[in-house]
Structure 1
Amino acid sequence: MLFLVRMDVKVPTHLSAAEFDAIKAREKTYAEQLQREGAWRHLWRVVGEYANYSVFDVPSNDELHRLLSGLPLFPFMTVHVTPLAKHPSAIQ
């Protein structure tokens, strides 16, 4: 199943810069792992915002929730999920 996910991060003011950098490093490692495994198919930055649009390919809603909630930045995110279906006019 394909899902379009928008993730907006609100930088926590209660963390030091070093603590936040450590969280971001863990986030990068986890995101790269999911991309290598094929679950996180596409990742695009939203220009001018601390946000991204991503496409996930996972077998279920529950699996997507498990992956998203495993993101180290998840506690600081607003997440919007849109399930995707093949369009009848798509040539691919």
Structure 2
Amino acid sequence: MLFHVTMEVNLPPDMPKAEADDIKAREKTYAQALMRQGKWPHIWRVAGRYANVSIFDVADNDELHALLSGLPLFPWMDIQVTALARHPSAL
């Protein structure tokens, strides 16, 4: 199943830099592992915001929830999910 996922990160302004840097490094490692597995085939930065638009290709809603809640930045994210279906005009 394909999902359009928008994620906006809202780290607390008083979070120590070393802690934020560690979380971001773990996030990158986790995300890139999902990309290599084909579960996170597309990610785009939203210009001017600490946000991204992504496409996930997973088995079902439960798998998507597990992957998203496993993101190290998850506690500080506002996430919006839209399930996608093939358009009848698509080739």
What is the TM-score when the length of structure 1 is the normalising length?
0.96
Listed as ranges, the gaps of 5+ residues in structure 1 are: none
Taking only the aligned residue pairs, the percentage that are identical comes to 64
Structure 1 stretches of 4+ moved >4 Å: none
Residue by residue over 1:43-89, the C-alpha shift from the partner in whole angstroms, topping out at 9 and shown as x without a partner, is 00000000000000000100000000000000000000000000001
Matches within 5 A, 1:26-45: 26-45=26-45
Q: Which residue of 2 aligns with 1:83?
A: 83
Q: CA deviation at 1:16?
A: 0.1
Residue by residue over 1:12-58, the C-alpha shift from the partner in whole angstroms, topping out at 9 and shown as x without a partner, is 23420110000000000000000000000100000000000000000
For residues 41 and 57 of structure 2, the distance between their equivalents in structure 1, rounded to whole angstroms, comes to 6
Q: CA deviation at 1:2?
A: 0.1
For residues 14 and 61 of structure 2, the distance between their equivalents in structure 1, rounded to whole angstroms, comes to 32
For residues 23 and 15 of structure 2, the distance between their equivalents in structure 1, rounded to whole angstroms, comes to 10
CA RMSD of aligned residues (A): 0.7
Q: Which residue of 1 aligns with 2:58?
A: 58
3-state SS, counterpart of residue 40 of structure 1: coil
Q: CA deviation at 1:11?
A: 1.7
What is the TM-score when the length of structure 2 is the normalising length?
0.97
Greater shift, 29-38 or 12-21, is seen at 12-21
Q: CA deviation at 1:3?
A: 0.1
Greater shift, 10-19 or 42-51, is seen at 10-19
For residues 89 and 63 of structure 1, the distance between their equivalents in structure 2, rounded to whole angstroms, comes to 28
